[in-house]
Amino acid sequence: MRVVVDFDLCESNAVCMNIVPEVFEVREDDFLYVLQEEPGEEFRAQVTEAVARCPKQAITLEG
Amino acid sequence: MDRVVVVGASLAGMRAAETLRAEGFAGTLTVVGEEAGPPYDRPPLSKQVLTGQWDADRIALPSGAKPELELTWERGVAAIGLDLAAGHVSLADGRAVPFDGLVIATGAAARWIPGTRAIPGVFTLRTLDDALAIRAALGAGVQRVVVVGAGFIGAEVAASCRARGVAVTMVEPLPQPLSRVLGDVIGRVVAEVHVEHGVDLRLGVGVEAIEAGDHGVERVRLSDGNVIAADLVVVGIGVIPNTGWLEGSGLTLDDGVLCDETTLAAPGVVAAGDVARWPNPLFGEVMRVEHWEHAIDMGAHAARRLLAWAASPSDPALDMAYGPVPWFWSDQYDRKLQLAGRVRPDDELAVVAGSIEDRRFTALYGRNGRVVGAFAMNMPARVVKYRQAIAAGLTWDDALQG
C-alpha cells in the first residue's frame, strides 16, 4: 500500500490529518507532509477514508 | 432488505451507495438522479469552473464510474412522490421504483428573488449547468457583475469574477459577509479582504428590483436608492431543501426532512446531506448542514443506519446517534477560510494564533464555558486539532490558557 499525494492539487485542507494523523500532517507552514508513504495494512481503512474525503481528490492509494 | 433506492445522485447519495456496498449490501441498489449527466463535485463550480481553470470532466465524482458498485441508474428523471405504505418512489416519467430501504439525499435548490428568474443575465449557482452558463456569459464580454448575497456562493463568485478581471459589486442585507455562519467580527475581516481585492461591497442594503432592457439585465436597484449598472447578476441568497416530492408522504418536513438522532426519518427511511435535519446530540441543536464534508459523512452514516434497521427494525440504535462537528472551507482569492463547529452571533470570540492584520489567524468561539467553533484564515492545521478538541468537550478556559 503506497500513498501518493498530488501536491499540485493539495490545498492543505487537512481533512486527511483529521482522519489518520499517523500518515498525514499539515504543519505550521501550511504544507502537507506524508509521514509514511507506505503505511502498514492497519491504516488501510483510514487511508481509504482520507482518499474519499479529500476535498481536492488529491490523494490516491496504490496497491 | 433486498432493494434499496437512493434518491439524489450527488455527494451524499453517492456516498451512501458506496457505503452500502462496502458494508456488504448485495441487493438491488438503485440511484435516482434528476440531472442527466454523471455525478459531480460542487465546490469547484464557484471557483475553478467559473474562472475557467477546470472543465466539467475534471469534477466527476469517482463513485459515479465504479462498475463494482453495481448500481441501477435512473438518471435524468426526478422523483416526484413517495408512497411509504406501498414502498415505492414515483418518477416523473410515470414509473414507480419499489424499495425495502430508502435513502433520501435530494439536496437543495438555489433560492431565487421572485420575478427575476426569466431575466436573461440573472443566474443562481447550484448545478454544473449553472456554472457553465455563468462562465459562458463571463466569456462573452461581461464587464459589470452584481452579486446578490455575500454568503459562500456570493463571496466565491465575487472572488472568481475578480480573478477574471471583471468589475464586481456585492450586495448583502446583513451587516457583514458570511455573518450568519461566522459572526460580525470575522465577517468584517472577510469584508476587508473583498474590498482589498477591488470588490465594491454594499453592506446592510437589500435589493429592491432587478431591471431588464431589451437584451436582458441592465441594472440593480438597491433599498438605499442607489442603482448599479449590471451586465450579469448572480443571486446567492441561500437554498431551499428539495422536499417537494415528499409532500403528503407522511414524513415530517420542516425546512428539510426531519430525522431522529440516528438519521432515521421513518422505518426503513434515512436522509442525509443538505436535505436532512436532525438533532445533533453534541450541540443539543436540531440542525441542517449544507457543507461538503457533511454530505459525505452523513451519507455514510445514514447508509449504516439503514443496514442496522434492516438487521433489527425495532432497535432504536441509540448508539448510532450522529453527532459530528460541522466543518467547511471556502477559498476566496489567496485566503483559505475554515470553520469547525457551530457558531452563533453572540458567541464569545478570541484570536488564539496569528493576527487579523496579517490575514492569517485562528479564532475560537465560546458559549456557556465551552468552545463551540474554531475559525482559521490560512492556518488550516489548527482547525483540525480544535475540531477534535471540540468533539471532546474542550472548555473555553482550558482553550485560552493552552
Chain B partners within 8 Å of A11 (Cβ): 331, 336
- CATH number of domain containing A40: 3.30.70.20
- Mean pLDDT in residue range B48-67: 92
**Does the beta-carbon distance from B331 to A11 stay under 8 Å?**
yes
**What is the pLDDT, as a whole number, of residue B153?**
96
**Tens of pLDDT, residues B98-112:** 999 999 999 999 999
- Cβ contacts below 8 Å, chain A against chain B, sum to 42
Note whether residue B217 is domain-resident: yes
Note whether residue B329 is domain-resident: no
- Checking if the pLDDT of A55 tops 90, the result is no
**Does the beta-carbon distance from A17 to B329 stay under 8 Å?**
no
Asked if residue B199 and residue B120 are part of one domain, the reply reads yes
Asked if residue B130 and residue B74 are part of one domain, the reply reads no
Asked if residue B204 and residue B62 are part of one domain, the reply reads no
Domain enclosing residue B345, as ranges = 334-401
Give residue A30's pLDDT band: very low, low, confident or very high (50, 70, 90): confident
- Mean pLDDT in residue range B281-298: 96
- Checking if the pLDDT of B227 tops 90, the result is yes
**What is the pLDDT, as a whole number, of residue B402?**
66
- CATH number of domain containing B85: 3.50.50.60
Percent of chain B with pLDDT over 90: 96
Q: Of B320, B342, B364, which residue is a domain's last?
A: B320
**Does the beta-carbon distance from B296 to A52 stay under 8 Å?**
yes
Q: Among all residues of chain A, which has the CA nearest to that of B14? A: A52
- CATH number of domain containing B386: 3.30.390.30
Asked if residue B155 and residue B116 are part of one domain, the reply reads yes
Give residue B216's pLDDT band: very low, low, confident or very high (50, 70, 90): very high
From the candidates A6, A11, A13, A59, which should be mutated to test the interface with B, based on the most B CB atoms within 10 A? A13
What is the complex's ipTM, to 2 decimals?
Answer: 0.85
Asked if residue B355 and residue B309 are part of one domain, the reply reads no
pTM equals 0.95
Chain B partners within 8 Å of A57 (Cβ): 41, 62
Task: Give the position of cell 422536499.
Answer: B243
Dist CA B98 CA B41 (whole Å) = 28
Chain B partners within 8 Å of A28 (Cβ): 381
Asked if residue B123 and residue B226 are part of one domain, the reply reads yes
**Does the beta-carbon distance from B384 to A57 stay under 8 Å?**
no
**Does the beta-carbon distance from A57 to B41 stay under 8 Å?**
yes
Q: Of B235, B256, B275, which residue is a domain's last?
A: B235
Question: What is the number of structural domains in chain A?
Answer: 1
Chain A from 26 to 45: CB within 8 A of any B CB: 26-28, 30
Domain enclosing residue A28, as ranges = 2-62
Distances from the Cα of B371 to the Cαs of A17, B390, B393, B399, in angstroms?
Answer: 21, 6, 7, 8
Chain B partners within 8 Å of A60 (Cβ): none
- Checking if the pLDDT of A29 tops 90, the result is no
**Does the beta-carbon distance from A11 to B336 stay under 8 Å?**
yes
Note whether residue B326 is domain-resident: no
- Mean pLDDT in residue range B215-225: 97
Chain A partners within 8 Å of B41 (Cβ): 57
Asked if residue B262 and residue B171 are part of one domain, the reply reads no
Dist CA B151 CA B163 (whole Å) = 18
- Mean pLDDT in residue range B386-402: 93
Asked if residue B265 and residue B213 are part of one domain, the reply reads no
- Checking if the pLDDT of B23 tops 70, the result is yes
- Give the one of B15, B329, B381 whose C-beta lies nearest to A28's C-beta: B381
**Tens of pLDDT, residues B140-197:** 989 999 999 999 999 999 999 999 999 999 999 999 999 999 999 999 999 999 999 9
Q: Of B235, B253, B268, which residue is a domain's last?
A: B235
- Give the one of A14, A52, A53 whose C-beta lies nearest to B380's C-beta: A14
Lowest mean per-residue pLDDT among A28-32, A44-48, B223-227, B388-392:
A28-32
**Does the beta-carbon distance from A17 to B378 stay under 8 Å?**
no
Q: Residue B349 — φ and ψ, nearest 5°?
A: -140, 135
- Give the one of B43, B293, B331 whose C-beta lies nearest to A15's C-beta: B293
Dist CA A40 CA B41 (whole Å) = 30
The distance of B384 to chain A (nearest Cα, Å) reads: 6
The distance of B221 to chain A (nearest Cα, Å) reads: 38
**Does B292 contact chain A (CB < 8 Å)?**
yes
**What is the pLDDT, as a whole number, of residue B345?**
87
**What is the pLDDT, as a whole number, of residue B384?**
87
Asked if residue B83 and residue B49 are part of one domain, the reply reads yes
Question: What is the number of structural domains in chain B?
Answer: 3
**What is the pLDDT, as a whole number, of residue B380?**
87
> What's chain B's average pLDDT?
96
**What is the pLDDT, as a whole number, of residue A56?**
86
The distance of B379 to chain A (nearest Cα, Å) reads: 6
Asked if residue B285 and residue B228 are part of one domain, the reply reads no
Note whether residue B361 is domain-resident: yes
**What is the pLDDT, as a whole number, of residue B223?**
97
The distance of B388 to chain A (nearest Cα, Å) reads: 8
